[in-house]
């Protein structure tokens, strides 16, 4: 499904100095693998997600998606099977466009965007049906611009948009860290529900140790651009916050 082979990425600062974001990272994720990615700031978690999504091209190594080598494929050409949730809830939607128009683009992710009016009654009903599961009453306000919604609502909609059609992978970079506790809970539970229901291959970056216990089937820890520890199966199930905290203790 997703395979990284010895992927390296170094950033060179404009004032000199270099940061090794990914150092010979190899990882193999099968369809339906549900992973939680943790690690201190700057350990390479976000870079790992960006390399998979294509917003960062690695210096060396290979990125394989669905048995296709996509190492050099630009972001917009691999987005059709990838859903992404950013830390900033404003990044996943276009604020000046209506809810309906945002969903239209999501529906056309892997298709050409032609000169035809694609928003018809059937499409409107389909989107309304999908949004009704949020129980936010947004299904009756489809023509509202995205900018009128709260961060939590926008993040929840981004999630639905990303997973509305063919989608096999979801990459989430601290999707709830900018949200209030109630919205955070709602977005995380919705993500969890969709991942289980659709058997998506998931990578969730988080700093909340409780998230590691509640969600996912495997916990992966990174440090200085390397994967240094992981726990899956029964080892993951028996984790507790104290154990996780000890992972972060200075070695």
Partner 1 sequence: MDPGFYLSALVQGLAFGGLGLGIYLSLRIFNIPDITTDGSYTLGGVVTAIGMTAGWPPLAASVMACAAGALAGICSGMIHTRLRVDALLSGILVMTALYSINLMLMGRPNLPVANDVSVLNMIGADDSQTAAMLSAVVLIGSVLVALLFFLRSDFGIALRATGNSPSMARASGIAVNSMKVAGLGISNALVAFSGSMLTQYQGFADINMGIGIVIGGLGAVMVGEALPIPLLRKGIAGVLLAVVLGSILFRFAIATALSLGIDPNYLRLMTALIVLGIITLGRIRKKQHA
Residues at the site binding partner 1, with contacts judged by CB under 8 A: 55, 75-77, 79-80, 82, 84, 86, 90-97, 101-102, 104-106, 108-110, 113-119, 143, 162
Tokens representing residue 146 in the block: 């995205």
Nearer to partner 1, 9 or 154 (CB): 154
Tokens representing residue 220 in the block: 């992966």
> What residues pair up with 14 in beta bridges, in sequence order?
16
* Least CB distance to partner 1 at residue 166 (A): 12
Nearer to partner 1, 73 or 244 (CB): 73
Nearer to partner 1, 47 or 102 (CB): 102
* Least CB distance to partner 1 at residue 26 (A): 26
Question: Who contacts 97 (Cβ-Cβ below 8 Å, separation ≥6)?
Answer: 105, 145, 146
Q: Residue 201 region, left (φ>0) first, then alpha (ψ -120 to 50), else beta?
A: beta
For residue 58, the SS3 value is coil
* Least CB distance to partner 1 at residue 76 (A): 5
* Least CB distance to partner 1 at residue 231 (A): 30
HSE on the CB side for 246, CA within 13 Å?
4
Nearer to partner 1, 97 or 136 (CB): 97
Mode of pairing for the β-strands spanning 2-12 and 18-29: antiparallel
């Amino acid at each position: 499904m997703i395979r990284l082979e010895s992927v390296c990425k170094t950033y060179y600062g404009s004032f000199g100095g270099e940061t090794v974001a990914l150092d010979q990272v190899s990882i193999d994720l099968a369809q339906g693998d549900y992973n939680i990615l943790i690690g201190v700031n700057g350990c390479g978690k976000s870079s790992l997600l960006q390399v998979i999504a294509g917003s960062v091209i690695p210096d060396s190594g290979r990125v394989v998606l669905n048995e296709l080598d996509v190492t050099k494929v630009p972001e917009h050409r691999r987005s059709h099977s990838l859903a992404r949730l950013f830390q900033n809830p404003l990044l996943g939607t276009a604020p000046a466009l209506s809810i309906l128009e945002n969903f239209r683009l999501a529906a056309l992710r892997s298709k050409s965007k032609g000169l035809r009016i694609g928003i018809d009654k059937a499409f409107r009903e389909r989107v309304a049906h999908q949004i009704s599961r949020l129980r936010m009453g947004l299904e009756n306000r489809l023509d509202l611009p995205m900018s009128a919604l709260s961060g939590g609502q926008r993040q929840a909609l981004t999630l639905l948009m990303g997973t509305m059609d063919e989608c096999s992978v979801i990459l989430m970079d601290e999707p709830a860290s900018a949200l209030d506790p109630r919205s955070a809970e709602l977005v995380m539970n919705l993500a969890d529900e969709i991942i289980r229901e659709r058997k998506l291959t998931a990578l969730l970056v988080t700093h909340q140790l409780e998230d590691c216990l509640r969600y996912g089937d495997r916990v992966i820890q990174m440090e200085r651009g390397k994967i240094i520890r992981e726990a899956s199966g029964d080892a993951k199930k028996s984790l507790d916050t104290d154990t996780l905290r000890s992972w972060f203790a200075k070695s």
